[in-house]
Chains A and B, each alone.
With several copies, the nearest count.
Chain A
């Protein structure tokens, strides 16, 4: 029998455990539809704000030896525009990523999606390069509490909190988010980092400091998933450097119910999803796992 690679992230049920990470190509329904057909189990949108944001000037994305740096600056068309754009959606499993500074920002945005078919929300509490949102929210437990509480009251669909490594203990953010009723955790976002060009003696990104993604951060992300799943009883989505089925299994063994793929698109393009799904399926067959659930967190056995 073919193994079943569908998975559940709390109340979110998806056919395949590989999602598109937020901010990656996540700007149009047509692209979502294409990636869904290519094998992504769910599509997380770019993080949306109340109003459209242009983001930072270029350079906003560059390579480094073991990954990528970006300070896109959360450019996005704004929640109202985006909600309208995907309002015709019937089939694509979309998770809407939201970014804001106060509960009211989130309330406003959630209203926009009231009649739009989406799987859930992902709260970006972890963007490392824009002021007053992202990590600056995630690093403030009281604010996290208020935002999650409020979003949970407003939202009819599950709510995921996306955390990252900021200037406070991310496990504290997870704790507060869990206590405030969040349905799942995505870990992790990019890690604050920079690159300086030695010829011009300048930081390369226009914002100077950006976020590191890709293979470089995978061992850190796996550690975070392992720590969260060891300390909390909450579904986890692993994110950070996933580029192969082995990486995905590694996150699942550490405690993730699903994974998100971002930077790996550079090397593998849209075929990355089916490549990973097939690999997971073959692995499960070989190892006699019949469903994803049987693998989640088993690296924690003593």
Chain B
């Protein structure tokens, strides 16, 4: 019997990896989620607590998948605090995925926005020339740098970390580093995921140079399957029409970079 993607499947946490003092990766076995496309997400039920949308993180082991979660408010902190052997419900995968292009590729990620980008790396061709920009406030919030280098070891590639306080890698905003790169390299495509203000800037920069760009959008999500309306983003629904949109569309969406809806559906500024 094929599994109904809208009914939670219970998985057991098999491994917990500390990425930074506030970010952990929870690994579990699940054939379906291990094979999702880059950009797709799951609705993750922490039984008795809440359910959150989470990008599906890769695991290097076959048949396994993971979530990489930053402890933040109540639900994400509960998720972050789960131990090996504890259960999660997962439904999905939901959402669209990044379009796989070839050539000189730039990925710009911040925080847990790196999750879909890391998965995307595993879909790239060995002939691609790949640059990954990792943005972070400070050194001890940096993660996935080593993993990205490993995935790209057979590619021409660069993994560049940018910290706002200069405690590691380059100094400044990731978007500043991106502008610098643009003056040196002509990229064929840009992918981004992270804070919306950052993505907005990335999309503007790429578009201004006529480079094809895609971003994965976050909105309040309840159903994940396109009926509740909570993830509404202009005339599109982030969970269903997205989460990945191309820059051309995004620049026509007047919410992009500015506003999102809260749990009651009221627009709030970023």
Q: Which of A58, A76, A199, A263 contacts B222 (CB 8 A)?
A: A58
Residues of B contacting A199 with CB < 8 Å?
10, 87
Interface size class of B (residues with CB under 8 A): 35 or more
Residues of B contacting A60 with CB < 8 Å?
51, 222-223, 228
CB distance from B251 to the nearest CB of A (A): 16
Contact B222 A61 (CB under 8 A): yes
Contact A62 B52 (CB under 8 A): no
Identify the closest chain B residue to A204 (Cβ): B8
Residues of A contacting B223 with CB < 8 Å?
60-61, 70
- Is there a chain A Cβ closer than 8 Å to B235's Cβ? yes
Q: Mark out the residues of chain A between 189 and 210 whose CB falls within 8 Å of any chain B CB in the assembled complex.
A: 195, 197, 199-200, 202, 204, 206
Are A265 and B222 CB-contacts (below 8 A) given A54-B264, A63-B6, A204-B89? Answer: no
Residues of A contacting B224 with CB < 8 Å?
61
Q: Which of B10, B48, B232, B262 contacts A31 (CB 8 A)?
A: B232
Contact A59 B8 (CB under 8 A): yes
Most buried by A among B223, B226, B227, B235: B227
Q: Mark out the residues of chain B between 220 and 270 whose CB falls within 8 Å of any chain A CB in the assembled complex.
A: 222-230, 232, 234-237, 240, 261-266
- Is there a chain B Cβ closer than 8 Å to A81's Cβ? yes
- Is there a chain A Cβ closer than 8 Å to B190's Cβ? no
- Is there a chain A Cβ closer than 8 Å to B17's Cβ? no
Residues of A contacting B227 with CB < 8 Å?
24-25, 61, 68, 262-263, 265-266
CB distance from A42 to the nearest CB of B (A): 16
Interface size class of A (residues with CB under 8 A): 35 or more
The interface residues of chain B, by DSSP majority, are classed as loop
The interface residues of chain A, by DSSP majority, are classed as loop
Docked Cα-Cα span, A34 to B87, in Å, equals 40
Docked Cα-Cα span, A55 to B45, in Å, equals 17
Contact B266 A77 (CB under 8 A): yes
Residues of A contacting B234 with CB < 8 Å?
28, 30
Contact with A along B36-65 (1 / 0, CB 8 A): 000000010101101110000000000000
Contact A266 B226 (CB under 8 A): yes
- Is there a chain A Cβ closer than 8 Å to B150's Cβ? no
Residues of B contacting A61 with CB < 8 Å?
222-225, 227-228
Q: Mark out the residues of chain A between 5 and 34 whose CB falls within 8 Å of any chain B CB in the assembled complex.
A: 23-28, 30-31, 33-34
Can you name 19 extra interface pairs (CB under 8 A) apart from A75-B222, A202-B47?
A: A24-B227, A24-B228, A25-B228, A25-B229, A25-B232, A34-B236, A57-B50, A58-B50, A59-B45, A59-B51, A62-B7, A62-B8, A64-B7, A76-B265, A77-B266, A81-B266, A204-B45, A206-B51, A266-B6
